[in-house]
């Protein structure tokens, strides 16, 4: 079965992102696939390279990046939501004449068309956070 996950929860503002990560691991361990993980609304903060949790807390960014590398996951951040919240790729920072970029490695910016595509090509869409 092919899944698409939509993450609305910020990495440390709700349990949505951590639950999505655990669900993704369970899906992959069970032999199913993940077509795309789409980060939307405050969930885009999961893709910020500037996240620096204390040592006694989970490093969700690092865990998403590890999972992405292990399974070649498509970690997609909504470009409109990201721009509103200050998460920019190198090309977007340059285009918008901003002094720096902070989209983490392994994540990419994309539009809602990629979410629609994922919906069409997946058996299930599961959302996390709200």
103 is catalytic: no
Nearest-angstrom CA–CA distance, 39 and 45? 8
Given the residues 41, 78, 81, 87, select the one marked as catalytic.
Answer: 78
Three-state DSSP class for residue 125: strand
CA distances from 25 to 52, 63, 93 (A): 22, 10, 32
Q: Name the phi and psi angles at 37, rounded to 5.
A: -110, 120
Give the residue carrying structure tokens 């993450």.
7
Q: Taking a C-beta distance cutoff of 8 angstroms, is the pair 41, 81 a contact?
A: yes
Which residues are part of the catalytic machinery?
78
């Amino acid at each position: 079965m092919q899944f698409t996950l939509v993450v609305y929860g910020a990495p440390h503002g709700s349990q949505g992102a951590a639950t999505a990560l655990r669900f993704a691991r369970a899906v992959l361990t069970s032999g199913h696939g993940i077509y795309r993980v789409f980060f939307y609304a405050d969930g885009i903060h999961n893709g910020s390279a500037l996240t620096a949790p204390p040592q006694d807390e989970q490093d969700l960014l690092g865990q998403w990046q590890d999972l992405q590398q292990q399974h070649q996951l498509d970690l997609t951040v909504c470009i409109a939501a990201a721009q509103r919240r200050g998460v920019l790729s190198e090309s977007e920072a340059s285009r918008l004449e901003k002094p720096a970029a902070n989209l983490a490695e392994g994540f990419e910016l994309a539009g809602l068309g990629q979410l629609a595509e994922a919906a069409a090509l997946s058996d299930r869409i599961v959302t996390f956070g709200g």
